């Protein structure tokens, strides 16, 4: 058994489960407690697909939602399905928390995924494309090309495509080529003999990644302002030019998805950066897990490809259209039709810091008040300004920051490089194992090291997922000795300016000394060696976060059971995923004790709500809308003395036990009320974008009651109106 196979079966240890207590004397079976993770992931993508189906949403945005589903499914197959197939290959019979074996889960996943993909293409061909065509945005098939367009396409093929295409005939001297992960390829059926007398009947043509998959026809060639053709159509039209003297019997586009989960053996590793650099090139050549292919492909060629990639019937997805719908994501940016997109908005600024635009010193503001930012409704600029002012302020002596995802073009990373050049002590904890951002993070690490910044890679085996920046400033009050004062930014989202416009997140900038000391201590842990010290105000994974959440749930149970006070406990938690079994069982106990529990879980939820005798006091809803819900908020009523926490962590095993995460309190009364009134209440009241979950894992979309004067409550629209500039 190789190291990667061992990794597929490895399970990290965690604290022993607390015994389950319910109102029923019968001990619940595992499948009665937990829902399947993979199936719930697909259920989330079905909710995203519903956005693409919703005709109340602008048409170009519906197209985007359709491509988001495809992008999500790509990662689902690259990671989750790949993991299932690894376990099946090892004949693993280990059952998940829901009681299903890997084979049982895979069968269900394949069935649901095939149905979802079929729905996507029906929606694209029968609804979205015709609706766009009616608006003058056309995707022209070959039969629709005018003579002028045919001439332009021919010129484009010989000028832009022919020089970079390398057709590979399959014969003993030319074995089947390596097909990279998610690349566009064509299987060509041929007859006849070539210049050397060879009569190979098959060839493979690989489309270089540099070529656009969707091509906008230029003015004078297009009949309208927004006419598009597909790269696949161009190649189909002229594929015969690649095989002179032979006859093309068929040409079929296909796309292969491979296992892309990087594996670095924690027991063998000596240098994480070098190990990762060696592993990254292999990502494109992992084991095949899915074949997407044109639905008109001949059975003979289909079986030939399946054999080459060692795939079964359940792994093959026949599609009526482009095999890579993700490429359509670029179309809305190429079309200037504001009425077919969401309305443009300008993020606002919280009261009290509006003078930032006039050059107000951010550190002077922070001495008087904390700053709470709610993205994307409020601007990410103060976070960038926080780092930029620190880089240029002569009183600042040190900047420390964690980096999980920043993107390839990052103002914050460029500012950290500038700060190091200016002689500041810059320390950056770069997470090299941030999935699909490994290469970008390696590049930033190299650039930082070149200018003298201290770059560390966290703790092997524990991803640094916390979002924190610490600034140390030497300050001197009149008549006083100089002192070092700390300022901190903590967030629920990444330091990524693009996603800050697309994801909902909270960020807190503060000079609170206790929080600053805690954050400094976490940096000491990440960059040095030694035992973890107890933090004063912040919960930290893998040390105190899990215990802190469980203790807070138990406190609500205790309060609810206190008949003398007659208080009912209340828990509200908003997150991306809920999977960790101890927390789920604690929530079941809280429900049995009469605690009211409202869970806002965007994606995967393994808890079963509303089950008599188990979870009748638990409500679970998912919000899917214009913005990706990403913030993590934990509210505990605490007998009236409300506790509100913001966190980088979901309630998942990995976040509690295999990551460096922070969960920080919001103590200021006004800011606490803001988190509740902006981050929780609108989402609990939403009757437009909300989906209610039932005990079997199904979801029903909420709608205002018909025939009544019920108010239409869309949480994201309300927050835009409340917080965005001019709102």
For position 502, which CATH number holds? 3.30.870.10
515/592 same-domain check: no
Residue 48 is assigned to a structural domain of this protein: no
Quick one: pLDDT at residue 196?
Answer: 58
Same domain, 376 and 250: no
| In-domain check, residue 121 | no
Residues 248 and 290 in one domain: yes
Is 240 contained in some domain? yes
pLDDT recorded at residue 9: 42
Which of 340, 363, 398 is a domain's end point? 340
**Orientation angle between helical segments 581-592 and 545-560, nearest 10 degrees:** 10
Would you say residue 600 lies in a domain?
yes
- Partners of residue 9 on adjacent β-strands: none
Domain identity same for 176 and 319: yes
Q: Give 339-404 as a DSSP string.
A: GGSPPP---B--TT-GGGGGT--HHHHHHH--EEEEETTB-SHHHHHHHHHHHH-TTEEEEEEEES
Shared domain check, 565 and 450:
no
Same domain, 642 and 713: yes
Whether residues 479 and 499 share a domain: the answer is: yes
Query: DSSP per residue over 261-282, as a string?
Result: -----TTT-S-HHHHHHHHGGG
In degrees, rounded to 5, the angle at the alpha carbon of residue 93 between the alpha carbons of residues 88 and 99 is: 115
What is the structure's pLDDT at 433?
A: 62
- The span from the CA of 390 to the CA of 400, in Å, is 11
Domain assignment present for residue 417? The answer is yes
Asked if 553 and 641 sit in the same domain, the reply is yes
What is the pLDDT at residue 260?
A: 81
Looking at 508, 529, 550, which one is the last position of a domain? 529
Residue 164's CATH number: 3.30.1840.10
Produce one character per residue of 556-573: b if its CB has 16 or more CB atoms within 10 Å, e if not.
bbebbeeeeeebebbbbb
Q: What is the pLDDT of residue 445?
A: 84
Q: In this predicted structure, what is the pLDDT of residue 226?
A: 97
Does this model's pTM top 0.85? My answer is yes
* Residue 292 CB partners (closer than 8 Å, separation 6+): 254, 255, 256, 257, 317, 319, 323, 324
For every residue of 530-541, DSSP letters joined together read SPPPPPSS-EEE
Question: What H or E segment, with its residue span, contains residue 623?
Answer: strand 618-623
Indicate whether 333 and 414 sit together in one domain.
Answer: no
What pLDDT, on a 0 to 100 scale, did the predictor assign at position 22? 42
- The per-residue pLDDT for 268 is 45
Q: 368 and 323, same structural domain?
A: no
- Residue 706 confidence (pLDDT): 73
Among residues 498, 529, 560, which one ends one of the domains? Answer: 529
Residue 712: the pLDDT is 84
d(CA 499, CA 404): 13
Rounded to 5 degrees, what angle do the CA atoms 197, 200, 203 make? 130
Q: Which residue has the tokens 């495809």?
A: 70
The verdict on residue 99 lying in a domain is no
Residue 83 lies in a domain: no
Q: Which residues does 133 contact at the CB level (< 8 Å), separation at least 6?
A: 139
**190 domain-assigned:** yes
546 catalytic, yes or no?
no
Give residue for tokens 């999977």: 579
pLDDT at 93: 85
Residue-number span of the structural domain to which 207 is assigned? 138-340
Residues 321 and 438 in one domain: no
Cβ neighbours of residue 304 closer than 8 Å, sequence gap 6 or more:
187, 202
Q: Per the residue annotation, which of 465, 489, 546, 570 is the catalytic one?
A: 465
Task: Provide Rg for the chain, Cα atoms.
Answer: 28
Helix (H, G, I), strand (E, B) or coil at 583: helix
The low-confidence residues of the chain, meaning pLDDT below 70, are 1-28, 30-31, 172-174, 194-199, 262-285, 354-359, 433-438, 563-566, 707-710, 726-727
Examine the domain organization and report whether 516 and 596 are in the same domain: no
Q: What is the number of domains present in the chain? A: 3
């Amino acid at each position: 058994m190789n190291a990667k196979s061992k990794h597929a079966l490895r399970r990290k240890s965690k604290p022993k489960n607390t015994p389950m207590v319910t109102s029923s004397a019968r001990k619940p079976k595992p499948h009665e407690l937990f829902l399947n993770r993979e199936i719930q992931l697909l259920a989330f993508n079905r909710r995203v697909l519903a956005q693409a189906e919703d005709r109340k949403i602008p048409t170009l945005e519906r197209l985007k939602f359709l491509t988001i589903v495809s992008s999500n499914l790509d990662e689902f197959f690259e990671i989750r399905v790949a993991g299932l197939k690894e376990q099946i290959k090892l004949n693993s019979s280990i059952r998940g928390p829901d009681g299903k074996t890997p084979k049982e889960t895979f069968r269900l996943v394949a069935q649901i995924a095939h149905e979802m993909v079929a729905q996507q293409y029906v929606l694209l061909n029968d609804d979205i494309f015709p609706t766009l065509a009616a608006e003058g945005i056309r995707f022209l098939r070959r039969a629709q090309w005018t003579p002028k367009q045919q001439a332009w396409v021919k010129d484009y093929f010989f000028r832009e495509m022919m020089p970079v295409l390398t057709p590979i005939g399959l014969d003993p001297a030319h074995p089947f080529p390596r097909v990279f992960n998610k690349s566009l390829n064509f299987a060509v059926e041929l007859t006849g003999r070539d210049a050397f007398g060879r009569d190979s009947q098959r060839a493979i043509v690989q489309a270089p990644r540099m070529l656009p998959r969707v091509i906008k026809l230029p003015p004078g060639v297009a009949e309208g302002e927004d006419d598009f053709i597909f790269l696949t159509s161009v190649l189909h039209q002229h594929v015969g030019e690649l095989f002179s003297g032979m006859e093309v019997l068929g040409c079929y586009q296909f796309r292969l998805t491979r296992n892309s989960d990087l594996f670095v053996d924690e027991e063998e590793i000596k240098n994480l950066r070098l190990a990762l650099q060696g592993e990254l090139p292999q990502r494109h050549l992992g084991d095949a897990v899915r074949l997407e292919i044109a639905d008109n492909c001949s059975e003979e060629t289909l079986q030939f490809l399946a054999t080459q990639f060692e795939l079964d019937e359940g792994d093959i997805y026949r599609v009526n259209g482009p095999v890579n719908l993700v490429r359509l994501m670029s179309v809305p940016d190429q079309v200037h039709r504001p009425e077919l997109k969401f309305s443009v908005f300008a993020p606002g600024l919280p009261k009290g810091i509006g003078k930032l635009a006039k050059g107000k010193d951010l550190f002077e503001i922070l001495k008087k008040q904390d700053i709470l930012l709610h993205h994307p409704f409020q601007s990410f600029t103060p976070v960038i300004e926080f780092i930029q002012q620190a880089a240029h302020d002569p009183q600042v002596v040190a900047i420390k920051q964690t980096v999980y995802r920043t993107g390839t073009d990052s103002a914050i990373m460029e500012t950290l490089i500038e700060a190091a050049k200016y002689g500041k002590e810059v320390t950056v904890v770069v997470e090299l194992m941030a999935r699909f951002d490994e290469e970008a993070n390696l590049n930033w690490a190299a650039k930082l090291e070149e200018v003298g910044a201290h770059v560390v890679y966290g703790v092997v085996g524990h991803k640094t997922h916390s979002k924190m920046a610490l600034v140390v400033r030497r300050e001197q009050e009149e008549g006083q000795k100089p002192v070092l004062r700390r300022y901190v930014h903590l967030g629920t989202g990444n330091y990524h300016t693009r996603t800050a416009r697309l994801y909902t997140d909270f960020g807190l900038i503060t000079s609170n000394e206790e929080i600053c000391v805690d954050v400094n201590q976490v940096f000491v842990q990440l960059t040095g060696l030694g035992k973890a010290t107890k933090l004063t105000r912040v919960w930290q994974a893998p040390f105190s976060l899990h215990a802190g959440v469980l203790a807070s749930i138990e406190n609500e149970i205790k309060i609810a059971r206190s008949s003398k006070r007659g208080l009912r406990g209340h828990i509200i938690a908003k997150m991306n995923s809920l999977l960790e079994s101890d927390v789920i069982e604690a929530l079941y106990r809280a429900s049995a004790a009469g605690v009211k529990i409202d869970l806002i879980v965007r994606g995967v939820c393994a808890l079963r709500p509303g089950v008599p005798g188990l979870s009748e006091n638990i409500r679970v809803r998912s919000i899917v809308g214009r913005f990706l819900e990403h913030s993590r908020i934990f509210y505990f009523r605490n007998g009236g003395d409300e506790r509100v926490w913001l966190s980088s962590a979901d309630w998942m095993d990995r976040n509690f036990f295999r990551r460096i995460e922070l969960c920080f309190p919001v103590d200021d009364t006004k800011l606490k009320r803001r988190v509740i009134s902006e981050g929780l209440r609108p989402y609990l009241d939403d009757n437009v974008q909300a989906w209610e979950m039932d005990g079997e894992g199904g979801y029903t979309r909420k709608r205002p009651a018909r025939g009544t004067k019920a108010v239409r409550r869309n949480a994201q629209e309300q927050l835009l109106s409340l917080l965005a500039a001019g709102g």
